[in-house]
Amino acid sequence: MRTRAAVLREMGLPAPYATSAPLTVTELELAPPGPGELLVRVHAAGLCHSDLSVIDGSRPRVMPMALGHEAAGEVVAVGGRSAFSVGDHVALAFVPVCGACGPCQDGRAALCEPGAAANAAGTLLSGERRWVSPEDDVMHHHLGVSAFAEHVVVSERSAVRIDPALPYDLGALFGCAVLTGVGAAVYGAQIRPGDSVAVFGLGGVGLAALLGAVLCGAGRIVVVDRVQEKLDLARTLGADAAVLADEDVVAAVRDATGGTGADVVLETVGNADVLGQAYAATRRGGTTVTVGLPHPDRMLTIPAVSLVAEERTLKGSYLGSCVPARDIPRFIALHRAGRLPVEQLLTHRIGLDELNPAFDRLARGEGVRQVVVL
């Protein structure tokens, strides 16, 4: 079949993207789903900083690529015998989970080895590519999803069945923003009731991490961002103190947590310098968790002795350390119970042809989660 998709052929084009137009919406051929694959009509796809990081070149990927990795839609065809049925509503997660490798068997789905290999190669979990472009020798999948398209073929292992009563524009957020942010608070940081928490960066993932901290029963919560409107929103969602990032951030966070630093600090920006600040704002004996993805060349420098003498923990959390098939339905149930107000993260609804200026908005830090509605 033929379908429209947003294609990135060259990383690193300069902003403003409304002018340089790194994404081109074009018609591609989409081959039918193979065994263990689904054809999904995409109804909503979220814009994430991870997409921007591919556009600006700070997260290198194979080119050309049909971009996007956070989506919800409806199954319209299955490849052979399947656990899914035509008509199922699904959220798509950006790590396909094979279920059989060592990390998967250990409950660490985010580290699925075949999934990581497929994502790096720009293929589906099967190793195949279902995109066919008349202009290109090969067209790659983005993280097994390629969400900015009217239809996609994905591995069943990238899809999770969701409540059909959930609107698609909210359902899309559970595949990345909610999974990553809430999961980092619940599983990565394992926030305990009463813990003091700081969140650096208030994009979709950072605000979801704030919602996760509230869900966990955190005590005092401090948020840090460079955009005042996001700090104001965070206060309505449960933050007790807000720090504008042009202040002395470490001192401000320490002051807001009794002078010692926070028990748990979550860094969501994807910047090595900000991660260094987050580590410095963590108390002795505390835990710093990062979900941001800096450029692979960036290094982090910390006082090595602090890990031992101060019993510090510094850890990463990819995909929120979640198991998508388990946690997406859990988080949706919590949302429906009123305990995860995810709707507060959705600030813009746009069309597929509005992606380039929408990424300018994302680069400027405006809004929280923008969603393409198809």
pLDDT tens per residue, range 64-113: 999 999 999 999 999 989 999 999 999 999 999 999 999 999 999 999 99
- Please, which residues bridge with residue 45 across strands? 71, 372
Position 19 pLDDT exceeds 90: yes
* Alpha-carbon gap, residue 51 to 7, rounded angstroms: 12
Helix (H), strand (E) at residue 256: helix 249-256
Residue 12's identity, in one-letter code, is: G
Query: How many angstroms from the chain centroid is the CA of residue 229?
Result: 21
Sign of the CA dihedral with 208 first, then 107, 104, and 160 last: negative
Q: How far is CA 325 from CA 26, 40, 130, 242, in A?
A: 32, 17, 24, 34
pLDDT tens per residue, range 248-300: 999 999 999 999 999 999 999 999 999 999 999 999 999 999 999 998 899 99
* Alpha-carbon gap, residue 73 to 81, rounded angstroms: 20
pLDDT tens per residue, range 53-62: 999 999 999 9
End-to-end alpha carbon distance in the chain: 17
pLDDT tens per residue, range 109-141: 999 999 999 999 999 999 999 999 999 999 999
* Two tokens, residue 326: 């388990």
pLDDT bucket at 159, cuts 50 / 70 / 90: very high
Neighbours of 246 (CB within 10 A): 7
